[in-house]
Amino acid sequence: MIVIISNKVSEERIDEIVQHIEKHELQAHVSKGVDRTVIGIIGNAHPQLSEQLRQLSDVEQVVKISKSYKLASRDFHPLDTVIKIKDVEIGGEQLVIMGGPCAVESPQQIDEIARIVKAAGAQVLRGGAFKPRTGPYSFQGIGVEGLEMMAEAGKKHGLLTITEVMTPEYVDVCAEYADILQVGTRNMQNFDLLRKLGTIKTPVLLKRGFSSTYDEFLNAAEYILAGGNPNVMLCERGIRTFESYTRNTLDLAAVPALQSLSHLPVIADPSHGTGRRELVEPMSKAAVAAGANGLIVEMHTDPDNSMTGDGVQSLFPQQFAKLMQDLEQLAPLCGKSFDTKKDTIVV
Amino acid sequence: MIVIISNKVSEERIDEIVQHIEKHELQAHVSKGVDRTVIGIIGNAHPQLSEQLRQLSDVEQVVKISKSYKLASRDFHPLDTVIKIKDVEIGGEQLVIMGGPCAVESPQQIDEIARIVKAAGAQVLRGGAFKPRTGPYSFQGIGVEGLEMMAEAGKKHGLLTITEVMTPEYVDVCAEYADILQVGTRNMQNFDLLRKLGTIKTPVLLKRGFSSTYDEFLNAAEYILAGGNPNVMLCERGIRTFESYTRNTLDLAAVPALQSLSHLPVIADPSHGTGRRELVEPMSKAAVAAGANGLIVEMHTDPDNSMTGDGVQSLFPQQFAKLMQDLEQLAPLCGKSFDTKKDTIVV
Amino acid sequence: MIVIISNKVSEERIDEIVQHIEKHELQAHVSKGVDRTVIGIIGNAHPQLSEQLRQLSDVEQVVKISKSYKLASRDFHPLDTVIKIKDVEIGGEQLVIMGGPCAVESPQQIDEIARIVKAAGAQVLRGGAFKPRTGPYSFQGIGVEGLEMMAEAGKKHGLLTITEVMTPEYVDVCAEYADILQVGTRNMQNFDLLRKLGTIKTPVLLKRGFSSTYDEFLNAAEYILAGGNPNVMLCERGIRTFESYTRNTLDLAAVPALQSLSHLPVIADPSHGTGRRELVEPMSKAAVAAGANGLIVEMHTDPDNSMTGDGVQSLFPQQFAKLMQDLEQLAPLCGKSFDTKKDTIVV
Amino acid sequence: MIVIISNKVSEERIDEIVQHIEKHELQAHVSKGVDRTVIGIIGNAHPQLSEQLRQLSDVEQVVKISKSYKLASRDFHPLDTVIKIKDVEIGGEQLVIMGGPCAVESPQQIDEIARIVKAAGAQVLRGGAFKPRTGPYSFQGIGVEGLEMMAEAGKKHGLLTITEVMTPEYVDVCAEYADILQVGTRNMQNFDLLRKLGTIKTPVLLKRGFSSTYDEFLNAAEYILAGGNPNVMLCERGIRTFESYTRNTLDLAAVPALQSLSHLPVIADPSHGTGRRELVEPMSKAAVAAGANGLIVEMHTDPDNSMTGDGVQSLFPQQFAKLMQDLEQLAPLCGKSFDTKKDTIVV
């Protein structure tokens, strides 16, 4: 950590600040420059110290050199985290595809979609039972019943399942039915939810907040890791910018950047990341080329009548199957293997 | 609502879309233009209809004309909402000032600050017992004990109190101790929390998410209102932009804009809105000049040693008292009255 | 300047970097921390050095402590710059108001508007002869003729004039007719234009680029100052964010922030800053309360038929006159005086 | 075009607005809804009409249905534009790579880099002679001499050349030496420059402004096309967001989105788009997978000592050569061919 102080500040005050640092059993190296004095702090500083120093009244700037997260950082854990769930390995060589509707609507709907997802070669069935919606009058999901329907469809077709959990009190029931729990973009900093997810071992897919920095994203992951759950994957799903043609701006540089800062697997969401069906295919390929460990893609058998209104970003089954074929060719060029245990697809 | 369709789409398909609209007991006025056909929809459409129409595969664009929120809109409720708590009226002529530390730290700290807040002429004591922090290793607040300390200080000095609630399960205990519950920026779209707050009558100060639009903000308020709690105030606290000199960019146009779109009181937060002590005073005045119904301002007796690291944006007591004097002069020019039941300040 | 290097880098490489620094006749103070080595650089470094050091392959981060601009900074020039043009002083006690249409349309139009501007108590007439337009098919301004019309109207009514210049080759002709030259937001980093403006003495109002940081803004001013023209005023005119209800987000914290970083006068533009007529009045007051040295406000006698389409953000004459009356009351509370040499207004 | 008016507005006023529309020889279809009246406008409206209507005082909203640009739109020109320069075709099947240093520094430097660029299989040599720099004290390029050096290197090694032009008066000299002229991000809306480029036939690579929408970007292209120069390519080079880990956020969805809105070729710039050398390779691949017609990539033989400080985002020669090999494999999977007329590379 480095503390920068104007030279207009008195020597006595600088000494006080140095003593403040040394109280924490750290060393302070003082360099007097032309306009400013720089104090370099050496030793294992508590993460909160930078906050304390920043607010000292004569301190102009505090530069953190070490990161504020530990367990999530690659410095701390140099090897890739590979999360193994049944026969699927997320974070390793396998390119993992999660496909399915925005929301579970009925047993028939989710069963039919699961069949297509499996046939196309994907490994995970996605579907929401609890839906976070901007307004209170929109469809909010069908709740626990939806969890049951999806679990059954997943079991029948040999797919893992992932579903979103929105509040601490539903973590246990969601974990009972689903293999992976998703934290949505609006809840990335719902710290009580993150803390609760730290107390279980079910893998968590944490979506980036739509205006969160990489640093905040990894700090949110740190909440779960610090609680004792090491099974966290990061999901880039687009950030909010001034561009309104796309629903969000998919920040694909986040894929290699997060993989360099952290050891956790990185999944991309081209559906929410663009909000437009015709952009899902090119951005899925781009995400794989950028090195993503997997994709989470919306697909619906009847997107015109999806209950959430997200049909506009859902692929048709044929498009999903075609995308999977393309990814099968692309994956090996990107250091990934594509799971070939797929059935013949009959759409 | 208006639906726009390319003229490349067949007549039959357009007829289908018209029938889809008429099924909802709405009228569809079709206008055929040079390149596109426009369908104007007349009648009381369900808010979800626009989502359904947007995803129809040949629909190019859906333009919502009516707003997606109702109870929060000024169309629905033309007169200003005035929230009366004891002798304080928020949303009326009175300029309401909420002052206090970022976090409650000890009985002595909050008592001393409450004394200064009261003496300066403010009406509400702010202070956090549960703190949302970016990383898990930062100080997370002292919890229920803090609620007790603040309630006592408020009572002793004749101040209302406001505190943040982060998760549904703590709503009841926070409402037991505080007069106003605050929803922080990270929780603006924590829908389970909003729903829970809709079930009580305690006034809620809802902070704008740091990258939320006015529309999303008012939809979040709608969740609380729709649940049955009419006592909602909106708080502009700065949005996230590319500028990093300030912690956030305080969007003061939100004050008159929200007052025009909605009947709810609008409070400004110049402390989080700038993140820099020296900008709090000019931006407080600017917020009042823009028409804010009140301010929420951080003040600390020892900001150099505040436990949250937010001291850098906290006023010193003398600065807070001086600001109150300035606002007393400014308020009448902005159509507001300033509460003068203040004691002699002895800092 | 501070250079941060990982401790995984060899001692020899660190020595090389130190020698690289010392070659520039600077001192390098090396502090070895737990994970990283920090080199503090002391002496008067060339601004370009930080760029050179940042690209050295083992350098992790370079922290600039001194600012990259000099002449624009308050460190270099502690007293406020006051630009005197005839009897108007911009940057001093006087609150300076620039009013007028988006574009000069005819001699009658600009004469009538000038009369109203003067009568309301403003000091400067604004009006565009060359208009930067998003598309090539929009009205592009009437050119040099417009300059003549405005100069005449200004002279007749005793007003200074300000107009936009878009390209170096028109600087001289614009300076011949107008008292102040405006650089628009799209040209803030049109460096050839800035360099040309540095060669004359005509005062320049430099608008902030719509996604420029304070640092880039002051560096753009530095181009003009470094060329030899000290008469620069900064104009905050709103930045681009995700919010689309307003045309831009007026960043009023820029007013006190820029005044603290720089000695140059700061003018606010609530018309472009909001893009909505009904927000111009509250944001004008807010800007003055935040400490602005002046305002530039669009007003039109027939905004429904303005040629640029900016009528939607132009005040009607009565609104302009009323705003001036309000500002006359507000100014003294904000440490400013309001020029009272106004005629009786007859709109 | 659709005009939306509140039903609080009188019938007479609505009639006036209808007459205003009909004066332009257009038809107005009026639909009266519950709260609002909608006027659909049919006929070939002048692009400026929407601006005029928007400012009518009782108009609430104007929705443009047709685009404001014509020549740049795919509706107008359904087939891809292919720009042929000597034996290179940009916009067709060929994947076009432009490589080279940020700035031309010396004849030896540019010659050596040209050799490597050619050997690796790229078709175009990039290099700046006039450099737009944030501050006036940074290296501003070596000017016309640099143009000469680059032209010579290009000729010797059989490469096309591309260089940036910053101001109208230098267009002719730049066009004399270079095969392609680049308009930088800061000049995307330098309309005098765009107009000048419309008067020549030299191909132009137009970079997206760092906070420009697709609509503004295509309108900027329209300036050049409308002037008579059909040879425009669009370059996505990253936009400005709150994320500061990367220099910009490369918006790869812009590639397929612009290709769908327009017929012009789209080039991606992963160097400026990320600002970090280690992200250039994954983002180059991602851009190609997203369907880019080409890439513009910075490479330097001695990035530690580049004169602009952009070395940090420049590839080393070996990295550039390796990237070209990877792209050669990737291109066919993305519907592109890779030029194989490359020499054996000897770095």
Average pLDDT over residues A32-46: 80
The Cα–Cα gap between C248 and D51 comes to: 17
pLDDT digits (tens, 9 = 90+) for B111-145: 999 999 999 999 999 999 999 999 998 889 999 99
Residue in D with minimal Cα distance to A274: D253
Residue B85, chain D, CB below 8 Å: the answer is no
Q: How near does any CA of chain A get to the CA of C212, in Å? A: 14
pLDDT, tens digit (0-9, with 9 covering 90-100), for C160-179: 999 999 999 999 999 999 99
Report the pLDDT averaged over residues C288-293. 98
Please tell me which of the candidates A241, A279, A286 has its beta carbon nearest to residue D286: A286
% of chain B exceeding 70 in pLDDT: 97
Residues of D in contact with B63 (CB under 8 A): 2, 63
pLDDT at residue number D347? 42
Residue A77 resides in a domain: no
Question: In the predicted model, what is the mean pLDDT of residues D138-153?
Answer: 95
| Å between D259 CA and nearest CA of chain A | 11
Q: Which of D31, D63, D95 is the last residue of a domain?
A: D63
How is residue A175 written in tokens? 């974990």
pLDDT digits (tens, 9 = 90+) for A219-234: 999 999 999 999 999 9
In this prediction, residue C20 carries a pLDDT of 86
* pLDDT tens figures, C101-126: 999 999 999 999 999 999 999 999 99
Closest CA in chain D for residue A330: D333
**Are A213 and A250 within one domain?**
yes
Structural domain boundaries enclosing A191: 83-334
* Claim to verify: residue C204 and residue C263 sit in the same structural domain: yes
For the whole model, what pTM was predicted? 0.94
Token code pair at residue A337: 């293997």
**pLDDT at residue C341, as a whole number:** 53
Residue A303 lies in a domain: yes
**C257, part of any domain:** yes
Put simply, the answer to whether A38 touches C244 (Cβ < 8 Å) is no
Residues 262-291 of B with CB under 8 A from A: none
The reply to whether residue C57 touches residue D211, judged by beta carbons under 8 angstroms, is: no
Asked if the structure places residue A243 within a domain, the reply is yes
Summary mean pLDDT of chain C: 92
Last residue of a domain, which of B14, B31, B63? B63
CATH code of the domain in which C52 resides: 3.30.70.1140
Higher pLDDT, A76 or C66: A76
Size of interface B-C (CB pairs under 8 A): 113
pLDDT number for residue B343: 46
B211 compared with A63, residue with greater pLDDT: B211
For an interface test with D, give the residue of B8, B31, B44 to mutate (most D CBs within 10 A): B31
CA separation for the pair C214, A297 (Å, rounded):
40
Give the DSSP H or E segment for A256: helix A254-261
Confidence of residue B344 (pLDDT cuts 50, 70, 90): very low
* Residues B103/B131, Cβ–Cβ less than 8 Å: yes
Chains that touch C (3 or more CB pairs under 8 A): A, B, D
D306-344 pLDDT per residue, tens: 888 788 899 999 999 999 999 999 999 999 998 655 444
Q: Can you tell me the mean pLDDT for D289-300?
A: 98
Q: What is the DSSP string of D283-338?
A: HHHHHHHTT-SEEEEEB-S-GGG-TTSGGGGPBPHHHHHHHHHHHHHHHHHTT-EE
For residue A346, being part of any structural domain is answered with no
Cβ contacts from A onto B, under 8 A: 135
A4 contacts in C (CB within 8 Å)? 65
Lowest mean per-residue pLDDT among B339-343, C328-332, D38-42: B339-343
List pLDDT tens digits, range C23-60.
888 888 888 877 788 888 887 777 678 878 888 888 88
Do residues A304 and B56 touch, judged by C-beta distance below 8 A?
A: yes
Question: Rounded CA gap, D173 and B91, in Å?
Answer: 64
Q: How far apart are CA D250 and CA D241, in angstroms?
A: 10
Tell me: do C87 and C59 sit in the same domain: no
Residue D332 touches chain A, beta carbons under 8 Å: no
CB contact under 8 A, B35 and D66: yes
- Mean pLDDT, to the nearest integer, of B212-224? 97
Please tell me whether residues A167 and A212 are part of one structural domain: yes
Chains with ≥3 Cβ pairs under 8 A against D?
A, B, C
What percentage of chain A exceeds 70 in pLDDT?
A: 97
Q: What is the mean pLDDT of chain D?
A: 92
State the pLDDT at residue D27.
Answer: 86
A291/D279 touch (CB, cutoff 8 Å), yes or no:
no
Please provide the DSSP assignment of C180-243 as one string. Answer: EEEE-GGGTT-HHHHHHHTTS-S-EEEEPPTT--HHHHHHHHHHHHHHT---EEEEE--B--S-
Residues 139-178 of B with CB under 8 A from D: none
Of A13, A114, A121, A98, which Cα lies nearest the Cα of A60? Answer: A13
Which residue type occupies B172?
Answer: D
Q: Which of C13, C30, C63 is at the close of a domain?
A: C63
CA–CA separation, C215 vs D294, rounded Å?
A: 33
* Residues C46, C179 share a domain: no
- To the nearest whole Å, the CA of D124 is away from the closest chain C CA by 25
Query: Is residue D68 a part of any domain in this protein?
Result: no
Alpha carbons C58 and C49: distance in angstroms, whole number: 16
Average pLDDT over chain A, rounded to an integer: 92
pLDDT at D38: 85
Q: What is the pLDDT of residue C343?
A: 46
Same domain, B157 and B116: yes
Predicted confidence (pLDDT) per residue in A247-306, tens digit: 999 999 999 999 999 999 999 999 999 999 999 999 999 999 999 999 999 999 998 888
CB contact under 8 A, D65 and B61: yes
What pLDDT was estimated at residue B339? Answer: 67
Identity of the residue in A48, A132, A192 whose CB atom sits nearest the CB atom of B138: A48
Q: Assign residue B180 the CATH number of its domain.
A: 3.20.20.70
Verify that C188 and C252 share a domain, yes or no: yes
Query: In this predicted model, which residue has the larger pLDDT, C148 or D50?
Result: C148
CB contact under 8 A, C333 and B334: no
pLDDT at site B342? 47
The answer to whether B54 contacts A312, with C-beta atoms less than 8 Å apart, is yes
Contact B31 D34 (CB under 8 A): no
D216 touches chain C (CB under 8 A): yes
Nearest CA among B153, B154, B150 for reference residue B128: B150
Q: Which two tokens stand for residue A340?
A: 């070939």
Residues 6+ positions from C289 with CB-CB distance below 8 Å:
B282, B285, B286, B288, B289, B330, C330, C333, C334
Task: Reply yes or no on whether the pLDDT at C16 is more than 80.
Answer: yes
Confidence of residue C211 (pLDDT cuts 50, 70, 90): very high
Quote the minimal CA–CA distance from D293 to chain A in Å.
13
- Scanning every residue of chain B, which has its alpha carbon at the shortest distance from the alpha carbon of D41? B33
Best to test chain D binding among B7, B36, B65, B74 (most D CBs inside 10 Å): B65
- Mean of pLDDT values over C319-335: 96
- Minimal Cβ distance to C135: which of D55, D68, D134: D68
Q: Is residue C69 part of a domain?
A: no
Q: Which of chain D's residues have a Cβ under 8 Å away from the Cβ of A272?
A: none
Kindly report which listed range (B36-50, B205-219, B300-314) carries the lowest average pLDDT score.
B36-50
Q: Are residues C38 and C133 in the same domain?
A: no
Confidence of residue A340 (pLDDT cuts 50, 70, 90): low
Question: Measured between CB atoms, does C68 come within 8 Å of chain D?
Answer: yes
Which pLDDT belongs to residue B82?
A: 98
> For position A339, what pLDDT does the model report?
67
| C45 plus C181 within the same structural domain | no
Q: Is the pLDDT of residue B340 over 60?
A: no
Interface touch A244/C240, C-beta < 8 Å? no
Q: Say if residue D148 is in the same domain as residue D284.
A: yes
- B vs D, Cβ pairs < 8 A, gives 61
β-partners of residue A95 are: A338
pLDDT in tens, A79-136: 999 999 999 999 999 999 999 999 999 999 999 999 999 999 999 999 999 999 999 9
Say if residue D21's pLDDT is above 70: yes
* D133 in contact with chain B, both atoms CB, cutoff 8 A: no
Question: With bands split at pLDDT 50, 70 and 90, how would you rate the model's confidence at B341?
Answer: low
Those residues with Cβ within 8 angstroms of residue A9's Cβ, 6 or more apart along the chain or in another chain: A37, A58
The reply to whether residue A48 touches residue B137, judged by beta carbons under 8 angstroms, is yes
**D69 part of a folded domain:** no
Q: Nearest CA of chain A to the CA of C142: how many Å? A: 32
Q: Is D209 found in the same domain as D121?
A: yes
Domain count, chain C: 2
In chain B, the percentage of residues whose pLDDT exceeds 90 is 73
B40 CB within 8 Å of a chain A CB:
no
Q: Which of D4, D30, D65 to mutate to test the interface with B (most CBs of B within 10 A)?
A: D65
Q: Can you list the positions of beta strands (E) in chain B?
A: 2-6, 27-32, 36-42, 59-63, 83-85, 88-90, 94-100, 124-126, 160-164, 180-183, 204-207, 232-236, 266-268, 294-298, 337-338
Residues D178 and D247 in one domain: yes
Residue in D46, D191, D303 nearest the CB of C166: D191
When CB atoms are compared, the residue of A167, A187, A223 closest to B168 is A167
**Which whole number is the average pLDDT over B295-306?**
93
Determine whether the interchain pair A191/B166 forms a contact, defined as Cβ–Cβ distance below 8 Å. Answer: yes
- The chains in contact with chain A, meaning 3 or more Cβ pairs closer than 8 Å, are B, C, D
> Closest partner residue to A35 among C4, C66, C242, by Cβ?
C66
Answer for the pair A36, A188: CB distance below 8 angstroms, yes or no: no
The encoded tokens of residue C246 equal 């307003």
- pLDDT, tens digit, for every residue of B225-234? 999 999 999 9
